[in-house]
Amino acid sequence: MIGVVVLGSTGSIGESTLDVLARHPDRFRLVAIGANRNVQKLAEQIRRWRPPYAVMANQGAARELASVLGGSVPQTRLLAGEGALEEVATLRETDCVMAAIVGAAGLRSTLAAARAGKRLLLANKESLVMSGPLLMQAVKDSGAVLLPIDSEHNAIFQALPREFDGDFGRAGVRRLWLTASGGPFLRATPAQLAQVTPEQACAHPNWVMGRKISVDSATLMNKGLEVIEASFLFRAKSAQIEVVIHPQSIVHSLVEYVDGSVLAQLGNPDMRTPIAHALAYPERIDPGVEALDLFAVASLGFERPDLDRFPSLRLAYRALQAGGSAPILLNAANEVAVASFLERRLAFHRIPELVEEVLERVAAASVQSLEDVLAADALARRTAMQRLETVTH
């Protein structure tokens, strides 16, 4: 039995993970679940799964959870606070950690799982964007196994040779191609983009996702973060990563080889496929995903991204090329901008503008430690908040 911890269990990826686990009770044992403040959903999950541990990061929500449960599930130990996420990620009985917390909040628990040598299923792309070199070094030092959950990186992982070690020349790899659906505003004019509401931005045409990643998909910042993620995961230079718009979301990404071969992974847009792949790797298990009907799909389209209407992608390439703390600044400014947009304090088209302002105002510095990461993150957030004040008042 493989002991699994699901961090971010109340979210979209967390729920999909529990769905896959429920189909294979003979193979996986749920050790712990963790979330931030969704008391009702975590209580439901505790009643359904009765895991040995459940963590609520937010202290107030943790007290509320204890009172809602009222001792009705004595098998589950309730823990509170961010530190408890790290604690359950590193338990002896934990073999595998699904890192599915959204944003920078997932950084510490992801790093802790990597340092403890666990099988790390990485959905929380922001933690890799923020601490790529540190996280990859921690994985190497501890012998952890890092498997990407983002459907694009999971597809690339599947299309690369199994022994791939980042040496593009030896593996005969020319380029990595990340596909992007283009989001709900692929054909929108700049005037229409200026009017976009949070509800429209969160209604993705192909994927059901959390609100933050939905907005990132709509601005194409999600693809930008994925470019940076791919560069750390596969040791690719920015020139070796291409983005192609593929509105059907059937081809999840591709690897181009020097002999002209291009290998792709295809499937219905259902995150349970990459989740099942990473949970069972190198075996294959049934996650309950509908089989791909190529006759129904009929045709696949590909086009070049428009960097004028979607400048976030250009900004992400710029941050990757700048290196050091630049990806951290990009990520933090984006988190502030997206949260402000969701609170209706910032217009949709201002999201990349705010990110660009932060990249221009804060010089990228070198990053050697977690403290450096957190300092750059805090500085970028402060700068973004200050800019936001001047914009909105």
Question: By C-beta, is 12 or 325 nearer to ligand NAP?
Answer: 12
CB of 165 to ligand NAP, least distance (A): 24
Cα dist. 170→230, 264, 282 in Å?
A: 18, 20, 23
How many other C-beta atoms can be found within 10 angstroms of the C-beta atom of residue 341?
24
Q: How far is the CB of 169 from ligand NAP (least distance, A)?
A: 30
Q: Return the residue of 102, 139, 279, 355 that touches ligand NAP, per CB under 6 A.
A: 102
180 binds ligand NAP (CB under 6 A): no
Give the C-alpha distances (Å, rounded to integers) separating 393 from 125, 131, 194, 306.
33, 34, 18, 31
Among 86, 87, 126, 357, binds ligand NAP (CB under 6 A): 126
Span 230-259, contacts to ligand NAP by CB under 6 A:
none
- Do the beta carbons of residue 320 and residue 228 sit within 8 Å? yes
Mapped onto helix, strand or coil, the DSSP state of residue 91 is coil
CA distance 282 to 287: 15
Nearest CA to 334 among 233, 179, 185, 215? 215
Q: Which is nearer to ligand NAP, 11 or 327 (CB)?
A: 11
Q: Which of 51, 84, 131, 150 binds ligand NAP (CB under 6 A)?
A: 150
User: Among 8-16, 43-51, 181-189, 281-289, which window interacts with ligand NAP (CB under 6 A)?
Assistant: 8-16
Query: Binders of ligand NAP among 188-227, rule CB under 6 A?
Result: 207, 209-213
Give whichever of 17 and 325 is closer to ligand NAP, judged by the CB atom: 17
Under the binding rule (CB under 6 A), the answer on residue 311 touching ligand NAP is no
- Residue of 4, 13, 79, 328 that binds ligand NAP (CB under 6 A): 13
Of the candidate spans 101-109, 128-136, 193-201, 364-372, the one that interacts with ligand NAP by CB under 6 A turns out to be 101-109
Stretch that binds ligand NAP, among 36-44, 89-97, 165-173, 334-342 (CB under 6 A): 36-44
User: In this chain, which residue has its C-beta nearest to ligand NAP?
Assistant: 11
Which candidate, 321, 145, 316, places its Cα nearest to that of 226? Answer: 316
Task: Identify which of 275, 267, 185, 175 has the alpha carbon closest to the alpha carbon of residue 222.
Answer: 185
Are 193 and 348 contacting, i.e. CB atoms less than 8 angstroms apart? yes
Rounded distance between C-alpha atoms, residue 57 and residue 64, angstroms: 12
Footprint of ligand NAP on residues 40-79 (CB under 6 A)?
57
Cβ-contact 152, 226 below 8 angstroms: yes
12 binds ligand NAP (CB under 6 A): yes
Q: Nearest distance from residue 172's CB to ligand NAP, in Å?
A: 28
What distance in Å separates the CA atoms of residue 321 and residue 57, rounded to the nearest whole number? 35
Residue placing its CB nearer to ligand NAP in the complex, 69 or 105: 105
State yes or no: residue 14 binds ligand NAP (CB under 6 A).
yes
User: What is the side-by-side order of every strand in the sheet holding 2-7?
Assistant: 77-80, 53-56, 28-35, 2-7, 96-99, 119-122, 145-148
* Total number of residues that touch ligand NAP (CB under 6 A): 28
CA distance 5 to 22: 14
Task: Report the nearest approach of ligand NAP to the CB of residue 182 (Å).
Answer: 16
* Interface pick for ligand NAP out of 18, 100, 373, 384 (rule CB under 6 A): 100
- Using rule CB under 6 A, residue 148 touches ligand NAP: no
Amino acid occupying residue 267: G
State how far the Cα of 129 lies from the Cα of 144, in Å rounded to an integer: 18
Region near ligand NAP per CB under 6 A, out of 4-12, 128-136, 316-324, 342-350: 4-12
Look up residue 174 and give its DSSP letter: E
Binding stretches for ligand NAP (CB under 6 A): 8-14, 35-38, 57, 100-102, 105, 123-126, 150, 207, 209-213, 271
